[in-house]
């Protein structure tokens, strides 16, 4: 019975990945009218180690990604908040952003479908929402202008020390 449950959970996660992959292109073409950053992973990896941009480059490199034009901010949220790209973390990150005040059709869809398809992580989603609610607003920043900022200083300006501990983010 337990292996059947794990198999079904795996299927549900694959369904969400499929939905993310296919909805992203449609959403970007319909709702994102601004220009992309025209910055490569290599550009980011050339920034000094303690910068937010360097950490963004390392995140992209670790996950074998490049920045997706017009939605670069999403990967910035991953780096700032320390969430991985696992399906449950993607949904939890959307919940954290919702708690922080971000509103978009894509965010609503990701949360509604994510919670409906993977309710097993509800407690994690709710904790993430509360963490976002307690954090200083960060969803509205022009992250391209913050690439040279110290990642540690940036995180300390957004999250309390206890939130950083909860997110498993290092502070000195």
The total number of structural domains in the chain stands at 1
Range of the domain at 125: 2-27+44-166
Q: Encoding tokens for residue 128?
A: 């993430």
Residues 99, 28: Cα–Cα separation, whole Å = 23
- Per-residue pLDDT, 28: 66
**Number of other residues whose CB lies within 10 A of the CB of residue 130:** 15
pLDDT (tens digit per residue) in 97-124: 999 999 999 899 999 999 999 999 999 9
Residue 35 lies in a domain: no
Bridge partner residues of 150 (DSSP): 51
- The packing angle between helices 2-31 and 87-99, to 10°, is 50
Q: What percent of the chain has pLDDT over 90?
A: 70
Asked whether the whole model's pTM tops 0.85, one would answer: yes
């Amino acid at each position: 019975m337990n292996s059947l449950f794990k198999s079904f959970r795996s299927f549900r996660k694959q369904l969400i990945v499929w939905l993310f992959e296919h909805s992203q292109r449609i959403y970007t073409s319909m709702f994102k009218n601004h220009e992309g950053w025209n910055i490569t992973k290599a550009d980011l990896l050339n920034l000094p180690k303690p910068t937010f941009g360097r950490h963004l480059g390392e995140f992209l490199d670790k996950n074998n990604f490049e920045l997706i034009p017009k939605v670069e901010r999403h990967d910035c949220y991953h780096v700032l908040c320390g969430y991985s790209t696992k399906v449950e973390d993607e949904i939890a990150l959307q919940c954290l952003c919702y708690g922080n005040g971000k509103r978009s059709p894509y965010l609503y869809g990701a949360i509604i479908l994510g919670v409906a398809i993977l309710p097993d992580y509800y407690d994690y989603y709710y904790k993430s929402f509360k963490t976002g609610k307690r954090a200083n607003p960060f969803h509205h920043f022009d992250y391209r202008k913050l690439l040279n900022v110290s990642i540690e200083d940036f995180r300390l300006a957004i999250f309390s020390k206890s939130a950083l501990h909860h997110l498993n983010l290092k502070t000195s």
